[in-house]
């Protein structure tokens, strides 16, 4: 298991400070948020310097999170593919195998066949960009979009048929739709799993809008997910890669970020030991 600090858990932190916190609290790796990472690079930072810091701290970059809006078409798609190229180069520089990618709401008004065709086409093109840099892409389905099920994700991965496209198992996104259960995860080939987002939460109440800072603002054990069952299901596949401790909590973001990183790590270890 590669114990990984997710950049959303320390949301207000810059990447160099996050790396120091990860070292001091006992993590193995970082899952950098793309906006923080690109902000660092746009303001004088370099991948060479960041890689040296990580090496000195004994840390890996487990994932860059994320290439967002992969459902885009037309001119917006060109911009998205350019971002895929930039993130792939950054990942290569950091010796990072995985970039997360996800779709938002751009296809929500389309029928299922169009959604699947566009996603398959775009993911194939993105995968080809990543392959030039030795980078893999882990697909996350987003619960509040129309591309939101494990079944859809697996079908697209099958259609694309590229060796560098797999899944991230995000407990909340897969659980909250009611479409997936731990036993579905246990049936997966471990080589299709590129990462795990270890997290908890609840479903929206009746009439409540989707808001991840509300429905996901729970440490594992505080929400409604059977976190142990989901963790055990992943472990049963034999997957031993990146487990990212993800906490989407505005309340906890106001804690001392060293403390919340340590709490997230202790929680991850307690459920997976």
What's phi and psi for 162, nearest 5 deg?
-115, 140
Interatomic CA distance for residues 110 and 114, integer angstroms: 6
pTM metric for this prediction: 0.97
Tens-digit pLDDT profile for residues 92-112: 999 999 999 999 999 999 999
Tens-digit pLDDT profile for residues 160-219: 999 999 999 999 999 999 999 999 999 999 999 999 999 999 999 999 999 999 999 999
3-state secondary structure 184-242: HHHCCCHHHEEEEEECCCCCCCCCCCCCHHHHCCCCCCCCCCCHHHHHHHHHHCCCCCE
Tens-digit pLDDT profile for residues 211-247: 999 999 999 999 999 999 999 999 999 999 999 999 9
In the chain, the DSSP E strands lie at 2-6, 29-33, 60-68, 98-102, 136-140, 165-170, 193-198, 242-245
- pLDDT at 124 (0 to 100): 98
């Amino acid at each position: 298991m590669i114990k990984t600090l997710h950049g959303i858990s320390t949301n207000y932190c810059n990447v160099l400070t996050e790396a120091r916190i990860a070292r001091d609290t006992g993590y193995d790796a970082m899952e950098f948020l793309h906006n923080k990472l690109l902000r660092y690079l746009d303001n004088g930072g370099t991948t060479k310097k960041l890689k040296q810091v990580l090496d000195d701290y004994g840390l890996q970059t487990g994932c860059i999170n994320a290439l967002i809006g992969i459902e885009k078409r037309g001119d917006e798609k060109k911009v998205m593919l350019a971002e895929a190229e930039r993130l792939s180069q950054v990942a290569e520089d950091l010796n990072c195998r995985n970039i997360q990618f996800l779709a938002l709401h751009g296809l929500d008004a389309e029928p299922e066949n169009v959604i699947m065709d566009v996603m398959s086409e775009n993911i194939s093109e993105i995968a080809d960009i990543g392959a030039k840099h030795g980078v893999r892409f882990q697909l996350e389905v987003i619960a509040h979009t129309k591309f939101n099920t494990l079944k859809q994700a697996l079908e697209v991965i099958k259609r694309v048929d590229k060796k560098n496209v797999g899944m991230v198992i995000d407990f909340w996104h897969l659980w909250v739709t009611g479409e997936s259960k731990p036993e579905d995860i246990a049936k997966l080939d471990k080589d299709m799993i590129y990462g795990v987002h270890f997290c908890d939460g609840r479903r929206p109440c009746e009439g409540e809008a989707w808001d991840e800072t509300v429905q996901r603002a729970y440490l594992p054990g505080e929400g409604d997910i059977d976190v142990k069952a989901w963790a055990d299901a992943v472990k049963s596949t034999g997957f031993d890669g990146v487990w990212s401790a993800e906490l989407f909590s505005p309340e906890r973001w106001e804690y001392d970020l060293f403390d919340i990183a340590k709490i997230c790590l202790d929680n991850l270890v307690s459920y997976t030991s």
